[in-house]
Structure 1
């Protein structure tokens, strides 16, 4: 079974390089899989890094001169993929050697399915796939949303019938993958979760350098949540997109703290107890701001 692994990337050269190295070490037949890398307007030397690689499998590099967003980037990857099965991973995901084999095994056993695998968060790019404790986490990951592009796969024909990723989500972060997953389920595609198809998902520790970026992404998720619900105005989606955060944001009694930065939070006494709550308030506030912005756009 021929497989295409599609990755969209934007200015993530260092972590992407580690991700590619993992894909080049798969135990799947080299002539039966390809990596389709879509560079969505990177300016950090991503192309030069890729040009310097000598991959053991086929590597197809595609580039948008200007950033167009995750939906358009992945749709470009789908159009150029030659595999019968398309596996989506993010550019900050590290795959163990059996990863592709486990995805294809489920597509061989089951027909018309989306295959999801666990994503185990890690704070380092140097992970040992033989770490028994980390592998155990994959088998206690019973839940999780369906069709998240950090680790999911589907037949290319099914993706074509569904129409691919909705490009109305634009350059914003979040919900575009779950929206496609919802359409696939409406078409009758079933979900299967293979816990042996796990990955490590790099999550950078919050710091003063990246905290503003984290809040920006959370706000974008709020904007895209409104688009998701407008397209599928059903109770299940309304619950998922958490409009209740608009009320939570009004009730939070620490309004001034929502303007604080991570350096202020680091100085809070008893931060091991209090800081997680304050950070959660920040994230709720950013998401609620996105919801409000999305609702305002909808009225225009």
Structure 2
């Protein structure tokens, strides 16, 4: 088993440095099925000096091979990474994820065990993703209930045989905005009969800066983008399951409409309360509260784009 760790990146140089260094220090057992590994980094048109930094520090990263493309989004970047990969098994992580020393070994063990238990190689493994705001020591964060994910296939921390990605057709590059390109591929993988194997031993710490009010305009824009991409997702797979994923149901519309008082609780009216929470060191709670109006923007984006498509 040869691993190719495929990482798309776009303007994330400070945390990318930690991401790549963690992957250089992997503890692989002498009797491991892992024959070797590489890190395939795809720069998606960064303007923060990512490629220049890599070139200046290439001696630190013997496992890293870098490629670049014009800014086309993570779907196209991951496809390029798979195309250039040498491995028979692909691991997808994001460039703001810092993994533990046994990360690769944990995925390998879970893949072997899963194949033995199910009697089939139609499997993939999904590790834990723990969200943290601690840049200096991200691995100090404990697992929280808000870190739970019910996603079937998400590229934050997943290992899968390359052949299944190629048989499914890789990522749809029409997903150029934020969201859904990995879950959409997951629908096609599920149709091929692949089973999800949970692998909590393969831990990655997903870093993001502490929440503040300056982030809100970008977060709103991202939710609107996610709504638009959700409509594309539903256009490809018009099922109730997908409608539930993208929040395009009367239930979601009523739920977030009620919680946001029809949009009256928004980034302007809630700003004083959110800042009050932030000032008291409760930025994570402030973010969870902000999700009330962020989800309302998402639902509005879904229905707005869907109605436009219908017209």
Shorter-chain-normalised TM-score: which range? Answer: 0.7 to 0.9
- 1:200 pairs, out of 191, 202, 205, with 205
Task: Judge conservation of contact 2:127–2:203 (CA < 8 Å) in 1.
Answer: yes
Equivalent in the alignment of 2:118? none
In 1, distance between residues paired with 2:277 and 2:35?
Answer: 57
CA deviation after TM superposition for structure 1 residue 292, in Å = 2.8
Corresponding residue number in structure 2 for 1:162: 168
Partner of 1:147: 153
State how far apart, in whole Å, the 2-side matches of 1:128 and 1:147 are: 24
What is the aligned partner in structure 2 of residue 214 from structure 1? Answer: 219
Structure 1, unaligned runs of 5 or more: none
Which digits, 9 at most, give the CA deviation of each residue in 1:87-111, with x for residues without a partner?
Answer: 0000110000110111122223312
Alpha-carbon separation, structure 1, partners of 2:150 and 2:179: 15
Two-structure CA RMSD over aligned residues (Å): 2.9
What per-residue deviation string (whole Å, max 9, x for no partner) do you get for residues 146-205 of structure 1?
2211101110011000000111212x1111101111211110111101110111111322
- The answer on 1:70 being equivalent to 2:77 is no
CA contact (8 A) 1:33 1:58 kept: yes
CA gap 1:247/1:50 in 2 versus in 1, 3 angstroms = same
Structure-2 residue corresponding to 1:115: 125
Equivalences, count: 294
Report the counterpart of residue 44 of structure 2 in structure 1: 40
Q: What is the TM-score of this pair, normalised by structure 1?
A: 0.87
Q: After superposition, what is the alpha-carbon deviation per residue over 1:46-78, rounded to whole angstroms, capped at 9, x for unaligned?
A: 1122112223542111111x3101111110101
Contact 2:22 2:101 in 1 (8 A): yes
Deviation at 1:258, TM superposition (A): 2.0
CA distance in 2, matches of 1:98, 1:156: 21
Q: Distance in 2 between matches of 1:10 and 1:218?
A: 19
Whether contact under 8 Å (2:274, 2:290) holds in the other structure is no
TM-score (norm 2): 0.84
Does residue 127 (structure 1) correspond to residue 133 (structure 2)? The answer is no
